[in-house]
């Protein structure tokens, strides 16, 4: 009898465990929803708000009444609902004319009809109340700003364990109409000199990008070893440094712009202009004012006399340098400021506003006015975006700074608009590390005026500026959703979205190359070219001529991958990246092969038949360990369009015989190729900056950029400029610049 009783207890215990397990299973199979709504008084949205509902499980087909919006009077609002291809994301688009700003409040309803593919009902928020404003709200007071950051602290504490260090986005630097993309790169130019010369390899024709080197056809302007160096390059036989400006260690010059007789240096400074100013003295007795640690500084010189550049103006924005562009005579600057908002845990009266400095106003740091700071509805970002425009033709005019709470790390700019992309992380109990999506901010550009023009959300994250494009008034963006090396049950996918001029979603292609991520994107006219990779390199050809119904036309799978795609003509692309090989680990029979890079790779793609793209020619350079600045920065590409020449800096390693993982240093310098549809990829020159007996790279000898002036080619390294003839690449001379 006792044995029977024990057996019953065991069965009851086992049954209880099974029931508990079943309940847990059912709970986690219920589709939890993340609305992105805030649980504080800032649950305010713009009139064109598109709600993005993320579900943890795929949904069944939705009826018209499953998700809806009502106004305060109980009337249904005519919204449009779309669902993603994987059925885990639902977009609720606003009415055609937007939500009425005359109505005080709206409520988003998620009904009990919303069920997973297993038939389980949704758990989580069922209603979301929100108010609508016609434009971005302003921060009205110090109290208002502090409340924003206090709520951000609260959210951070709640989510801190859920985020993973492996899920962070990256910053920039690591197409006017993109139909002109093939014409926008490294065109010849004639400005102050009669010599044709190189220009920067820009993404968008007519939108100049800041770089470490610029030339006007006679002089070379270069940032090298913490200095601005001006070199007279022509005549090449008399090449000489005419002036140099060294900078203190608390300023790091990074990029240049050239506008006629003005030269602009942009970089980051630390504590600059702070300790010796009246504000510094004031802060010593007012400890609630935080020290100014980082500042994006812009220095403008008059270079009419190249031997004696004259300082015209210094302008600084508190924060880190994000990006800069130039259209005509206007320079546009973007910085991110990360305030010490955690000080609010210790003090209740901390000044968090960013500061600006201007030499025309005596360099004393000045706080932005509260009414000049706006916040992005639905954002809990803890940093500021600062945008400014400088007219180089009116150097003494006021510089207006726009500031926003919430920021972007990737920048795309056309002649009329600037777009910022920000990764947003959503954590859940099913996915503690968070799932990243992208928030896009659009700003209209009109000379010195910068105005917020809209915002939108898309699934996944962008790789870099080439993941974004403006074409025929629409915005195109390519993203990767999920982690490539994550759970096989939820593999990464790659997507392309098209948004109209108001950033309303109008077209999409989703779920490409599952388990892979985007390595490069290029938009050319109404076509998009996307390279993804995990073990092989698929090149997708996507037709966006109908923005409401984009479609994949063709696909090519080859070994290796391209980090950068460059248009050769309307039917050909050049890919610069790495060759790869798959290595099987004999000790792990079921494991995926190990992917190893095995040399730099140039690919010539023929896309004349969109349905059947081909790799027409290839070139493999060196072995594992070979690298080039071009892999991280498209501005390192040299091109002479008339001569069909392409070049780039390179450090070459060769694989050690008999070893899979060991390499030996070969040389460093630059390579030049002639690339044409007719003859493919033909090496024309190898310009070596290292001695034969060198066994290691030397930083001071690394070629960083190449350019041409007239019939001469120049390679630029931190301590030296070398010149060559363009017709046969024989060396003319060299100049030490340090």
* pLDDT, tens digit, 9 for 90 and up, residues 166-220: 333 333 443 333 333 433 444 445 444 557 999 999 999 999 999 999 999 999 9
Q: What is the CATH number of the domain that holds 45?
A: 2.60.40.1220
Q: What is the pLDDT of residue 379?
A: 72
Within a domain: residue 107?
Answer: yes
Q: How far is CA 522 from CA 266, 392, 437, 470, 645, in A?
A: 27, 31, 21, 12, 20
Q: Measuring CA to CA, which residue among 428, 509, 432, 499 is closest to residue 54?
A: 428
Find the domain containing 109 and state its range: 32-134
Per the domain annotation, does 464 fall within a domain? no
What pLDDT, in 10s, does the model give residues 505-531?
999 999 999 989 999 999 999 999 999
Please indicate, yes or no, if residue 331 is contained in any of the structural domains: no
Q: What is the 3-state secondary structure (H, E, C) of 382-400?
A: CCEEEEEEEECCCCCCCCC
Torsion of CA 485, 487, 488, 489, to 10 degrees: -150
* Tens of pLDDT, residues 559-576: 899 999 999 999 999 999
Residue 246 belongs to a domain: no
Choose among 648, 653, 650, 574: nearest CA to 618. 574
On the 0-12 / 13-18 / 19+ scale of CB atoms within 10 A, 4 is exposed
Higher pLDDT, 470 or 595: 470
Query: Which three-class secondary structure state does DSSP give residue 310?
Result: strand
Per-residue confidence at 376, pLDDT binned at 50, 70, 90? confident
Distances (CA, A) of 30 to 33, 345, 428, 429, 693: 9, 37, 13, 12, 66
pLDDT of 488 reads 61
Residue 646 lies in a domain: no
Structural domain count, the chain: 1
* pLDDT tens track for 24-83: 444 444 556 555 555 444 477 888 877 777 777 788 777 777 888 999 889 999 988 888
User: 75-84, 283-292, 698-707 — which is least confidently predicted?
Assistant: 283-292
Does an H or E element contain 16, and which? helix 2-29
Which has more pLDDT, 240 or 185? Answer: 240
Mean pLDDT of the chain: 84
Cα distances (Å, whole numbers) of residue 604 to 160, 441, 682: 46, 35, 11
Query: Smallest Cα–Cα separation from 238: which of 630, 723, 727, 729?
Result: 723
Residue 330 placed within a domain: no
Has residue 68 been placed in a domain?
yes
Does residue 734 lie within any of the structural domains? no
Predicted local distance difference test score (pLDDT) of residue 39: 45
Tokens for 420, please give them.
């910022």
| pTM summary value | 0.85
Residue written as token pair 């726009």: 402
Which of 544, 542, 534, 499 is CA-nearest to residue 513? Answer: 534
* pLDDT tens digits for range 717-738: 999 999 999 999 999 999 999 8
* DSSP code for 3: H
Using pLDDT thresholds of 50, 70 and 90, give the confidence band for residue 489. low
Mean pLDDT of 629-645: 97
């Amino acid at each position: 009898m006792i044995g029977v009783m024990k057996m019953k207890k065991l069965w009851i215990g086992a049954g209880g465990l099974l029931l508990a397990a079943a309940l847990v299973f059912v709970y986690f199979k219920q589709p939890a929803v993340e609305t992105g709504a805030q649980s504080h008084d800032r649950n305010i949205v713009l009139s064109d708000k598109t709600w993005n509902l993320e579900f943890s499980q795929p949904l069944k087909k939705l009826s018209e009444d499953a998700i809806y919006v009502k106004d305060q009077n109980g009337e249904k609002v005519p919204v449009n609902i779309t669902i993603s291809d994987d059925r885990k994301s639902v977009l609720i688009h606003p009415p055609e004319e937007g939500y009425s700003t005359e109505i005080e409040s709206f409520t988003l309803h998620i009904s009990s009809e919303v069920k997973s593919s297993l038939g389980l009902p949704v758990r989580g928020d069922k209603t979301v109340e929100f108010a609508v404003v016609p434009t971005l709200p302003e921060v009205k007071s110090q109290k208002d700003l502090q409340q924003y950051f206090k709520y951000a602290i609260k959210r951070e504490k709640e989510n801190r364990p859920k985020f993973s260090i492996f899920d962070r986005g990256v910053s920039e630097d690591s197409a006017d109409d993109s139909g002109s993309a093939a014409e926008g790169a490294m065109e010849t130019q004639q400005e102050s000199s009669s010599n044709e010369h190189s220009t920067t390899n820009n993404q968008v024709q007519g939108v100049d990008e800041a770089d470490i080197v610029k030339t006007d056809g006679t002089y070379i302007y270069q940032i090298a070893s913490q200095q601005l160096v001006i070199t007279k390059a022509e005549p090449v036989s008399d090449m000489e440094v005419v002036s140099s400006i060294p900078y203190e260690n608390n300023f790091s010059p990074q990029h240049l712009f050239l506008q006629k007789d003005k030269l602009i240096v942009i970089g980051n400074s630390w504590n600059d202009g702070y300790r010796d100013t009246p504000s510094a003295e004031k802060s010593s007795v007012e400890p609630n004012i935080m020290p100014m640690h980082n500042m994006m500084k812009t220095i403008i010189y008059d270079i009419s006399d190249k031997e004696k550049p004259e300082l015209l103006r210094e302008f600084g924005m508190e924060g880190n340098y994000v990006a800069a562009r130039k259209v005509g005579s206007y320079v546009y600057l973007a910085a991110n400021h990360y305030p010490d908002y955690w000080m609010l845990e210790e003090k209740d009266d901390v000044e968090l506003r960013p500061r600006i400095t201007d030499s025309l106003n005596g360099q004393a740091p000045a706080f932005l006015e509260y009414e000049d700071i706006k916040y992005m509805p639905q954002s809990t970002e803890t940093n500021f975006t600062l945008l400014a425009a400088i007219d180089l033709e009116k150097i003494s005019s006021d510089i207006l700074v726009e500031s926003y709470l919430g920021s972007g790390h990737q920048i795309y700019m056309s002649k009329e608009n600037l777009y910022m992309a920000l990764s947003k992380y959503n954590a859940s109990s099913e996915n503690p590390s968070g799932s990243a999506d992208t928030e896009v901010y659009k700003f209209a550009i009109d000379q010195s005026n910068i105005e917020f023009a809209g915002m939108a959300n898309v699934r996944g994250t962008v790789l870099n500026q080439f993941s974004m494009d403006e074409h025929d008034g629409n915005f195109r963006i390519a993203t990767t959703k999920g982690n490539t090396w994550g759970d096989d049950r939820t593999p990464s996918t790659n997507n392309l979205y098209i948004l109209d001029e108001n950033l309303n979603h109008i077209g999409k292609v989703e779920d490409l190359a599952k388990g892979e991520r985007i390595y490069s994107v290029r938009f050319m006219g109404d076509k998009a070219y996307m390279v993804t990779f995990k073990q092989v390199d698929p090149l997708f050809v996507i037709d966006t001529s109908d923005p409401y119904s984009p479609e994949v036309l063709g696909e090519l799978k080859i070994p290796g991958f391209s980090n950068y795609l460059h248009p050769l003509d309307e039917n050909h692309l050049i890919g610069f990246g790495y060759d790869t090989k798959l290595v099987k680990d004999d000790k792990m029979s079921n494991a995926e092969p190990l992917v190893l890079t095995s040399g730099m790779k140039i690919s010539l793609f023929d896309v004349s038949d969109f349905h059947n793209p081909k790799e027409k020619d290839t070139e493999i350079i060196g072995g594992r360990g070979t690298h080039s600045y071009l892999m991280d920065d498209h501005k390192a590409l040299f091109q002479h369009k008339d001569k069909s020449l392409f070049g780039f800096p390179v450090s070459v390693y060769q694989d050690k015989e008999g070893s899979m993982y060991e390499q030996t240093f070969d040389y460093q310098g630059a390579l030049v190729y002639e690339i044409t549809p007719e003859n493919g990829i033909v090496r024309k020159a190898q310009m070596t900056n290292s001695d034969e007996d060198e066994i290691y790279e030397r930083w001071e000898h690394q070629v960083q950029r190449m350019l041409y002036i007239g019939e001469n080619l120049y390679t630029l390294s931190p301590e030296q400029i070398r010149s060559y003839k363009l017709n046969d690449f024989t060396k003319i001379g060299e100049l030490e610049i340090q």
